[in-house]
Amino acid sequence: MANHAISTSNLYPLPAPKPGHRFVPAALGKPGEQVIVYIECPAWCSQDHVANWSHYAEDIDHWGQTDAAWDTGCLTRPGDQMLALFARVHSDPVAADPRLRAAHVLMDDESTQVFLTPEMADRMADDLIAFAAQMRHLATRARQANQTTGDSDPDMDEALRRVRGGRA
């Protein structure tokens, strides 16, 4: 048939991505001089590699969504986030350490990053469950201590003493 006469000189078969990966566009180079290339990106990666462009291909990391996040305030600092932990799946395809090239869990408290193998993340999760149980125990102890002593607030006790002593 005549349709089969199409020239194939401008057709380029795509290589198949590794299992669990797909090809996605990525922007490389500084703004104004960027090129868009296709990179192999794991299916769990939620990064937009064009919006989050890199200077060099070696700088491209893969990031999952922040699926685990915890923070706490402080009774003396209402509204402030005083301690925080975040965790997400991460991989660095050009890392020297094969454990960093593989998908692993990256934990971060906004100043320190730690990299955990899946096995380390499992152990850490067990430790956090134990920590949570200890926190409940501490909350119960504090609540019981307050019930025993009546008023838990030393400043309030002092204020009451002053009022009763006529010095307020």
- Taking a C-beta distance cutoff of 8 angstroms, is the pair 53, 28 a contact? yes
DSSP helix/strand/coil, 55: coil
- Helix, strand and coil in the chain, % to nearest 5: 30, 30, 40
Give me the 5-44 binding string for Zn ion, x by CB under 5 A, dash otherwise. Answer: ------------------------------------x---
* Per CB under 5 A, 47 contacts Zn ion: yes
- Residues in contact with Zn ion, counted by CB under 5 A, come to a total of 4
Task: Say which residues have a Cβ less than 8 Å from residue 102's Cβ, sequence separation at least 6.
Answer: 91
Q: Which stretch binds Zn ion (CB under 5 A): 8-16, 56-64, 95-103, 121-129?
A: 56-64
In the complex with Zn ion, which residue's Cβ is closer, 47 or 54? 47
DSSP classification of residue 4 = G
Q: Which stretch binds Zn ion (CB under 5 A): 8-16, 57-65, 114-122, 131-139?
A: 57-65
In the complex with Zn ion, which residue's Cβ is closer, 45 or 121? 45
Smallest separation (angstroms) from Zn ion to the CB of 37:
13
CA dihedral 82, 85, 86, 89 (to 10 degrees): 170
Smallest separation (angstroms) from Zn ion to the CB of 56:
15
Smallest separation (angstroms) from Zn ion to the CB of 63:
7
| E strand segments, the chain | 21-28, 35-42, 62-72, 83-91, 104-108, 113-116
Amino acid present at 61 = D
* Per CB under 5 A, 104 contacts Zn ion: no
* Per CB under 5 A, 62 contacts Zn ion: yes
Smallest separation (angstroms) from Zn ion to the CB of 97:
19
| Token pair 């923070």 in the structure block, residue | 71
Which residues form the interface with Zn ion (CB under 5 A)?
A: 41, 45, 47, 62
